[in-house]
Amino acid sequence: MLQSIIFCLVAAAALGYSFYQFRKVYANIMMAKAEAVEGPTGERWKNMILVAFGQKKMFKRMIPAVLHFMLYVAFVFTQIELIEIFIDGIFGVHRFFADGLGTFYNFIISTIEVLSVLAFIATVIFLVRRNVLFIPRFNKPEMTGWPKLDANLILIFELILLVCIFTMNGTDEVLQGIDPAHYPDTNLAVTSWLGPALFGGLSEGTLKVLERVGWWGHIAMVFVFLNYLPKSKHLHILLAFPNTYFARLGQKGQMENMPEIMNEVKSMMGLGDPNAPEPDMNAELPEFGANDVFEMSRIDLLGAYSCTECGRCTSVCPANITGKKLSPRKIVMNLRDRSEEVGEKIRSGNTEFCKDESQPLSADNFDDGRNLWDFISREEVHACTTCNACVEACPVLINPLEMILKLRRHEILTEAAGPQDWLPLFNSIENQQRAWSVSTSRTEWMNE
Amino acid sequence: MTVKTMAQFAAEEKQPEILFWVGCAGSFDDRAQKVTRAFAEILTAAGIEFAVLGDEEACTGDPARRAGNEFLYQMTALQNIEVLNMYGVKKMVTACPHCFNTIKNEYPALGGHYEIVHHTQLLQQLIDDGRIKMTGGGEFKGKRITYHDSCYLGRANGVYEAPREVLQSLDGQLVEMKRSKTNGLCCGAGGAQMWKEDENGDKRINVERTDEALATGAEVIAVNCPFCLTMMTDGVTGKEKQDSVMVYDLSEMIVQQMAK
């Protein structure tokens, strides 16, 4: 009875607080601009099923793909067990489905056990890869401090969770021989031999305590995980699905058009709609491109929150490979960091962040004197060759190039800044309609 | 050689079969001009009636747009679309994957709808259809050739096979670099990098890519883009391998070995 009450309270608190945190993530993403979701829905579902569910892009690198797949399948499958844990927890029963499902129960839980062994192996290898082997993409400048700790914490949580599962099932197997009335008979693939091997010979009291430690430890880790997700790179386990669904379709080479500029240029050139209203000359100059989260698109922000910092983008970036400061992963991480910062400041209600102090603080009335350039240097953005290698590499279809190009557009169009080297290029296109300032004819090549 | 312009065709009230979009590099860069000539020669040999825009052509706007200068892109792109629509152009071919990408993927949003192919795609078609025939033997027979995927033909537009099939017709020995097709490494010139100094780093991107190409032991590095041509040529020269390793555009290789 007491256990049931404690369980209900803990579960309600954990679910409630995680819901509150997920709402914040949602609100942060929604601060950005809406983007039209174009193209066939079927194509989007296909992307989600192949890329997120089927992890198609992971299989470009076999070793991490197989290890990751082991963890992923174990994780998804283990969720079935949660149903029973909740029923047992709320009603104070023990292995509610064991008697009713019989052999099928053994099959399900045995599958989870086998997958858990694989997950355990994968987790240990992942820890070794991160901390012992020198894998370059895990050792870039942006992967120090919190991102490094974050990656290790998830793996350690995973190990604790798995140890708890085996303690719970293993002690249960031994207790079945001591107190069969209370512990329904099961025959599980791993713990039927691992249980007696590890826990055989312990006293009944010790076993009962250990069984409860395993059970509570397991569910406690699930609750911790749930509340840790919104703060962690591990959020990808959820957001990979919407992110692959919303990822832009169409050719990677296509840059998003800017109709507001197109229309202005059209009217300048006398190509505009003659019935269009006269532009308001006194209107505040619009901002082009993005130097903050508000001008990024929600798809960009969703991407930033879906990033698990694996660094496949950075490991294929030609600029990064040749020692430039640009790292596509860092751009994506910075975008998330900035949305977190802005989101927290807006929710603080502190009027010092108001653009106009007479109005309430909101995304439209916000100025903390900072923007993405406080996170990302010009040098990084200038180093990009727009080669799309990062876009191609991302296992969950995040588009770092889109973010970089929006920063470039802001720099050139809104700030009238940017690399000096580009001025001759711009001048010759503007004045001579060609990319180089030369005076020869375009048919010069015919004369030889 | 003489190639008629769209204006000349229009004066005769005729339409060419296809418009050859030459691009700025193909028009003004000494090395790329050779590619333009080679490709024009192939089109002529295949009996295709084609035209160029000549001085009515303007930069597609690719480098301006990727630098972030949308105003300039819109100006030059809309100007091109005006000209192309005035002539009623439907089909185009270009030897520059940047021009190809912009016209194919970005002009439609501005009102420019054309059927455009990259020259490697047209070359493949001409070879497949028997409109150009290869001579047996020739300079590339048995040579080790490595193909460098340009980003704007490859990842940006998913064209990986057509250029490789064209190269197969040369009877050479095609060797792949470690990073190829979807994993191909950029030459370093895209995104308007062609016009600016590199940011600080340990190495130039074209040197990294050239090292990889040379590691295949290839005697010929085949490219499909005038910017890659410059970058890879510079890379090879930097390694003082210009006497033993040649960098060619695909059309230059075909023109050398086709039956004339």
- Where a domain ends, among B71, B103, B124? B124
Out of B90, B124, B158, a domain closes at: B124
Calculate the CA B174 to chain-centre distance: 19
Distance from CA of A39 to the nearest CA of B (A): 15
Residues B170 and B120 in one domain: no
From residue A345, alpha-carbon distances to A300, A350, A361, A370 in Å are 20, 7, 9, 12
B180, B196, B207, B225, best to mutate vs chain A, most A CBs in 10 Å: B196
Within 8 A of A253 by CB-CB distance, chain B residues are: 101, 105, 152, 155-157
Examine residue B1 and state whether it is found in any structural domain, yes or no. no
CA-nearest residue to B75 within chain A is: A265
- Tracing tokens 């406690």 back to the chain, one arrives at A220
- For B134, list phi and psi in degrees, rounded to 5: -90, 145
Last residue of a domain, one of B75, B91, B124: B124
pLDDT, averaged across chain B: 96
Do B147 and B234 belong together in one domain? yes
Q: Are residues B141 and B253 in the same domain?
A: yes
Contact yes or no for A254 and B74 at CB 8 A? no
| Number of domains, chain B | 2
Q: Phi and psi at residue A367, in whole multiples of 5°?
A: -155, 105
Q: Measured between beta carbons, which residues in chain B are less than 8 angstroms from residue A324? A: 198-201
Spatial CA neighbour of A260 closest among B102, B108, B71, B66 = B71
Residue B129 lies in a domain: no
Q: How far apart are CA A389 and CA A391, in angstroms?
A: 5
Residue B243 lies in a domain: yes
Q: CB A251 to CB B61 under 8 A?
A: no
Contact residues, chain A, for B206 at CB < 8 Å: none
Residue B96 lies in a domain: yes
What are the backbone angles phi and psi of residue A342, rounded to the nearest 5°? -65, -45
Span A247-252, mean pLDDT? 94
Instruction: Tell me: do B82 and B164 sit in the same domain.
Output: no
Nearest alpha carbon to residue A415 among A274, A257, A295, A314? A295
Distance from the Cα of A402 to chain B's closest Cα (Å) equals: 11
* pLDDT for the residue numbered A6: 92
pLDDT digits (tens, 9 = 90+) for B237-247: 999 999 999 99
B162 & B50 share domain? no
- Helices and strands, counts by H and E, chain B: 11, 8
Closest C-alpha among A61, A133, A143, A126 to residue A329: A143
Structure tokens, B147: 């193909």
> How is residue A231 written in tokens?
């703060």
pLDDT, tens digit, 9 for 90 and up, residues A298-332: 999 999 999 999 999 999 999 999 999 999 999 99
Q: Does B244 touch chain A (CB under 8 A)?
A: no
| Residue B169 belongs to some domain of the structure | yes
Give the Cα separation of A200 and A194 in Å (integer): 9
pLDDT at residue number A45: 96
Per-residue pLDDT of chain B (260 residues; tens, 9 = 90+): 899 999 999 999 999 999 999 999 999 999 999 999 999 999 999 999 999 999 999 999 999 999 999 999 999 999 999 999 999 999 999 999 999 999 999 999 999 999 999 999 999 999 999 999 988 778 898 999 999 999 999 999 999 999 999 999 999 999 999 999 999 999 999 999 999 999 999 999 999 999 999 999 999 999 999 999 999 999 999 999 999 999 999 999 999 999 87
| Contact call for residues A255 and A405 (beta carbons, < 8 A) | yes
User: pTM of the entire structure?
Assistant: 0.94
Q: Please, are residues B158 and A251 in contact by the beta-carbon 8 Å criterion?
A: yes
CA atoms of B123 and A216, how far apart (whole Å): 68
- B30, B72, B159, B210, best to mutate vs chain A, most A CBs in 10 Å: B72
Query: What confidence score (pLDDT) does residue B209 get?
Result: 97
The verdict on B86 and B186 lying in the same domain is no
The predicted structure's pLDDT at residue A279 = 63
Domain shared by B147 and B222, yes or no = yes
| A326 part of contact set with chain B, CB < 8 Å | yes
Contacts of A259 (CB under 8 A, 6+ apart): none
- Closest by CA position to B96, among listed B183, B3, B28, B6: B28
Q: Which of B30, B71, B150 to mutate to test the interface with A (most CBs of A within 10 A)?
A: B71
Interchain contact A19–B (C-beta under 8 A): no
Domain ranges in chain A?
Answer: 2-30+61-245, 32-39+289-416
Question: Phi, psi (5° rounding) for residue A243?
Answer: -65, -40
Output the DSSP codes for B103-115.
Answer: IIIISGGGT---E
What is the rounded CA–CA span in Å between residue A280 and residue A268? 14
* Interface pTM, i.e. ipTM: 0.95
Q: Does B4 touch chain A (CB under 8 A)?
A: no
B25 contacts on A by Cβ (under 8 Å): 435
CATH, residue B87: 3.40.50.1860
pLDDT at A94 exceeding the cut of 70: yes
In one-letter notation, the amino acid at residue A404 is I
Q: Are residues B101 and B186 in the same domain?
A: no
Specify whether B112 is located in the same domain as B157. no
Please give the residue range of the domain that contains residue B28: 6-124
With respect to residue B156, please indicate whether it lies within any of the assigned structural domains.
Answer: yes
Question: Is residue B233 domain-resident?
Answer: yes
Cβ-contact B159, B94 below 8 angstroms? no
What CATH number labels A32-39+289-416?
1.10.1060
CA trace torsion B197, B198, B203, B205 (10° rounding): -100
Closest-approach residue (CA) in chain A for B202: A323
Q: Is residue B206 domain-resident?
A: yes
**Partner B contacted by A446 (CB < 8 A):** yes
- Do the chains contact at A435 and B67, CB–CB below 8 Å? no
